[in-house]
Amino acid sequence: MANISKKVIAKAVKGKNILITGASSGIGERTAHLLSECGAHVILLARTEENLKMVKDEIEKNGGKASYYACDLTDMDDIEKTTDKIIADFNHIDILVNNAGRSIRRSVHESVNRFHDFERTMNINYFGAVKTILAFLPIMISRQTGQIINISSIGVLANSPRFAAYVASKAALDAFSRCLAAEVKGHDISITNVFMPLVRTPMIAPTKLYRYMPALMPDEAAMMVAKAIVEQPNSIASNMGKFASVTFSLVPAFNVGLQSMGYRIFPSSSAAQTTDSKPNIAQRAFAKLIPGEH
């Protein structure tokens, strides 16, 4: 996916208030740096204040403008309190980037006694994101302008095994956003879902097998977010994501068979976290054919 120039990005974001959740590391952090370099005022949201302050200081050191708010995005009361404060401090935000998320790699049959896995992913990936959207939507409507960008996953398009909890939560936000997009189009508010492929961030670090898999770097992922801001499409996906979506729509048996092959080739999370996790020839070949999910 070709990058767009910082000049083009600056034209879209200069002087705007852009709220980024999960901004203390990974995709959120790099997106904050990119957009601040292009003239945006980035508002950083994450759980750990110390990490947020480090990101803010680095942005300001490089000449950018940033503010931060520590917030537990699994706590609906904390989200309400924090978003109220942001509105009081800045009156409005122009762009919301829902990036914060939790991923769990575990098959369903290994999760029969772990219902909390499904609750945890829904809390941050769906309920937290929706609660944040609801906080800023009325002001966007009253101003007749705004943009909401959700960082989703290629897994939503590919129906990736071992990610049922994670993919379901991202799919819920995708469905919510598609319904919302039709409702707010007349208010000049755009909604974009970015179906990220695997990105080399702290979220995937516990699975050592991923060290050997093809993955985007966080700066490349940040450029996908910038592309969403500039072009305002309904969705952005890699070529592999588009291929996965088309195969499931047209030939679902092929899609399921391919994913089943990957499920059998790659080990469960517990095995993938061991030190002896360098992929074999079959795993390497499959990983190049079907890259992983964010």
**Average pLDDT for 130-159:** 95
Q: Quickly state the pLDDT bin for 279 (edges 50, 70, 90).
A: low
For residues 248 and 258, the answer to whether their CB atoms sit within 8 Å is no
User: Please, are residues 111 and 117 in contact by the beta-carbon 8 Å criterion?
Assistant: yes
Q: Are 216 and 240 in contact (CB under 8 A)?
A: no
E-assigned strand segments in the chain: 17-21, 41-46, 65-70, 95-98, 146-153, 189-196, 235-237
Write down the pLDDT at residue 103. Answer: 87
**Domain ranges within the chain, ordered by starting residue:** 6-289
Which tops the pLDDT comparison, 197 or 261?
A: 197
What's the average model confidence in pLDDT over 80-96? 98
Whether 261 has a pLDDT exceeding 50, the answer reads yes
CA 19 to CA 67: how far, in whole Å?
9
Rounded-to-integer distance, Cα 217 and Cα 201, Å? 8
For the segment 205-221, the average pLDDT, to the nearest whole number, is: 64
At the topology level, CATH places domain 6-289 in Rossmann fold (3.40.50)
Percent of the chain with pLDDT over 90: 65
- What is the Cα Rg of the chain in Å? 19
| Choice between 264 and 139, residue whose per-residue pLDDT is larger | 139
* Cβ burial, residue 268 (10 Å; 0-12/13-18/19+): middle
Q: Which residues are catalytic?
A: 166
For residue 79, pLDDT over 50 is answered with yes
